[in-house]
Amino acid sequence: MMNPQPSTRERLIASGLPLLLERGYHGLGLQALLAATGVPKGSFYHHFRDKEDFALQVVDAYMREVHAGLDACLDDASLAPLDRVRRFFEMTQQVYQSQGYMGCLLGGLGQELAGVSDTFRKKIETCFTGIASRLVVCLKEARQRGDLPATSDPPQLAALLVDCWEGAALRSRLQRDLAPLDAMLDFYFRSAGAS
Amino acid sequence: MMNPQPSTRERLIASGLPLLLERGYHGLGLQALLAATGVPKGSFYHHFRDKEDFALQVVDAYMREVHAGLDACLDDASLAPLDRVRRFFEMTQQVYQSQGYMGCLLGGLGQELAGVSDTFRKKIETCFTGIASRLVVCLKEARQRGDLPATSDPPQLAALLVDCWEGAALRSRLQRDLAPLDAMLDFYFRSAGAS
């Protein structure tokens, strides 16, 4: 059976993601997007109210992928809970590599737009808290098993992991290299287990 | 004695910094900058080749402030070396607060432009490695005194500190709050001392 053809809306979102990752929000020209997809302008405005609406829907699509990755890694009962968490970030490294070391869309749009758009500021913040809340579940399980100290604070550790990851993702984007992400994960997991 | 009047070039750079922090590179309109400073367009182009040249000079001015802060904190022999390092970041938190929680200019421009401009990508990366190299000196001294384990790796710890800080600075920008930076510093200094 063949896969169903993606809809125009899906094609626009799929093409928008790498463009937004590379060029950012202001750097994404709708003309370039329409040229890349062969979609006429009127059709774009049939599916999206404006560029902001489009970018927000790209973020939603990005987050569906992120949560699918979290599902795949965090629900894997064959791994210890901390290994599941690390597995998710290692899988994300592979995604970054496949995208040309562009780092994280949330970090990119968050930095670019948080100063001028409360819509994006709150949207991106909600995405991060959503990811952290998934990680908390595993971190609590790790604490229960004794893989984290009894005094550790899973919500705080989850927020720290997301934050430190984002800084390392920026350096990965600047260096076009995964090494900053590796170093950060090594430091974090060594520290979280000891603290 | 009165301070000498700042030059037109200095006024443009001083006004450009908060605009770049808030709006980013693409969001900074030269018209808005000229209106804010009352400088005519021709005068801008007398001092700067173009917008890119201007933004790079704002980054240079930003880095002069950063290195002045590093001088003030890291050379303070009355503090233990790790306390000097922490002092620098706590001072930076106060700067962020005074600027309306806009986070770090390097993180903002790095995220926005690294995908489209090798000039900015390399420039921002050089700024980060320059900061880290200053921190290394104190971290080595801390290791020598036994405040860090003998097995610790100062260059790697310095890079990690800069990277984790940048992620926390993004969250600070999103939340308009210093709390993510506090949490990150607590985690880092507890972990670095133990690892």
Rg from Cα positions in chain B: 18
pLDDT at res. B149: 95
Shortest Cα distance, chain A CAs vs residue B4, angstroms: 33
Question: Could you tell me which chain A residue has the CA closest to the CA of B125?
Answer: A174
For residues B42 and A35, give the distance between their C-alpha atoms in angstroms, rounded to a whole number. Answer: 37
List Cα–Cα distances, A188 to A122, B35, B173, in angstroms: 27, 47, 22
Quick: pLDDT tens for A14-51. 999 999 999 999 999 999 999 999 999 999 999 999 99
Contact B170 A110 (CB under 8 A): yes
- Spell out which chain B residues touch chain A, with contact meaning CB-CB distance below 8 angstroms: 21-24, 26-27, 102-103, 107-108, 110-116, 121, 124-125, 128, 156, 159-160, 162-171, 173-175, 180, 183-184, 187, 190-191, 194-195
For position A4, what pLDDT does the model report? 72
Distance, in Å, from the CA atom of A151 to the CA atom of B190, rounded to the nearest integer, reads 14
pLDDT at B187: 96
| Percentage of chain A exceeding pLDDT 90 | 95
Q: Hey, are the CB atoms on A171 and B128 less than 8 Å from each other?
A: yes
Look-up of token digits 């921002």: B124
Residues of B in contact with A190 (CB under 8 A): 191, 195
Using a CB-CB cut-off of 8 Å, the residues of chain B touching A171 are 125, 128, 159, 162-163, 166
**Beta-carbon separation of B115 and A156 below 8 A:** no
- Output the pLDDT for position B5: 80
Q: Give backbone dihedrals phi and psi of A51, rounded to 5 degrees, phi first.
A: -65, -40
Q: How far is B1 from chain A (nearest CA, A)?
A: 38
Query: Which residues of chain B neighbour A26 with C-beta distances below 8 Å?
Result: 24, 26-27, 112
User: Least CA distance to B105: which residue of chain A?
Assistant: A111
What pLDDT does residue B2 have?
Answer: 61
Task: Give one DSSP letter per residue of chain A, joined into a string.
Answer: -PPPPPPHHHHHHHHHHHHHHHHHHHH--HHHHHHHHT--HHHHHHH-SSHHHHHHHHHHHHHHHHHHHHHHHHT-TTS-HHHHHHHHHHHHHHHHHHTTS---HHHHHHHHHTTT-HHHHHHHHHHHHHHHHHHHHHHHHHHHHTSS-TT--HHHHHHHHHHHHHHHHHHHHHHTSSHHHHHHHHHHHHHHHH-
Task: With beta carbons under 8 A apart, name residues in chain B contacting A124.
Answer: 174
B63 min Cα distance to partner chain A (Å)? 17
Phi then psi for residue B75, to 5 deg, are -90, 5
How far is Cα B131 from Cα B133, in angstroms, rounded to an integer? 5
**Which residues, 6 or more positions from A33, have their beta carbon under 8 angstroms from its beta carbon?**
A12, A15, A16, A19, A39, A44
Closest CA in chain A for residue B189? A191
Q: Judge whether A170 and B107 are in contact, CB under 8 Å.
A: yes
Mean confidence (pLDDT) of chain A: 96
Give the number of other CB atoms < 10 A from CB of residue B191.
20
Tell me: pLDDT of A195 over 70: no
Contact A44, A15 (CB under 8 A): no
Tell me the count of A-B CB pairs closer than 8 A: 164
Check if the beta carbon of residue B156 is closer than 8 Å to that of residue A155. no
Q: Which residues of B81-115 are buried (b: 16+ CB within 10 A; e: fewer)?
A: bbbbbbbbbeebbeebeeeebbbbbbbbbbbbbbb
Query: What's the pLDDT score for residue B193?
Result: 82
- Cα A31 to Cα A15: distance, rounded to the nearest angstrom: 12
Cα A166 versus chain centre, distance: 9
Tell me if A167 and B166 make a contact (CB, 8 A cut-off).
Answer: yes
Provide mean pLDDT across the span A152-180: 98
For chain B, which residues make up each domain, given as ranges? 8-194
User: To the nearest whole angstrom, how far is the Cα of A189 from the nearest Cα of chain B?
Assistant: 10
- Is residue B47 a contact partner of residue B9, using CB atoms and an 8 Å limit? yes
pLDDT in tens, chain B (195 residues): 566 788 999 999 999 999 999 999 999 999 999 999 999 999 999 999 999 999 999 999 999 999 999 999 999 999 999 999 999 999 999 999 999 999 999 999 999 999 999 999 999 999 999 999 999 999 999 999 999 999 999 999 999 999 999 999 999 999 999 999 999 999 999 998 875
Picking from A112, A174, A195, the nearest residue to B125 by CB comes out as A174
Q: What is the pLDDT of residues A84-102, one digit of tens each?
A: 999 999 999 999 999 999 9
Nearest CA in chain B to A195: B191
Give the homologous superfamily in CATH for domain B8-194.
Answer: Tetracycline Repressor, domain 2 (1.10.357.10)
Min Cα distance A76 → chain B (Å) is 28
DSSP letter for each residue of chain B: -PPPPPPHHHHHHHHHHHHHHHHHHHH--HHHHHHHHT--HHHHHHH-SSHHHHHHHHHHHHHHHHHHHHHHHHT-TTS-HHHHHHHHHHHHHHHHHHTTS---HHHHHHHHHTTT-HHHHHHHHHHHHHHHHHHHHHHHHHHHHTSS-TT--HHHHHHHHHHHHHHHHHHHHHHTSSHHHHHHHHHHHHHHHH-
Q: From residue A96, how far is each of A86, A162, B158 by CA, in Å? A: 15, 15, 24
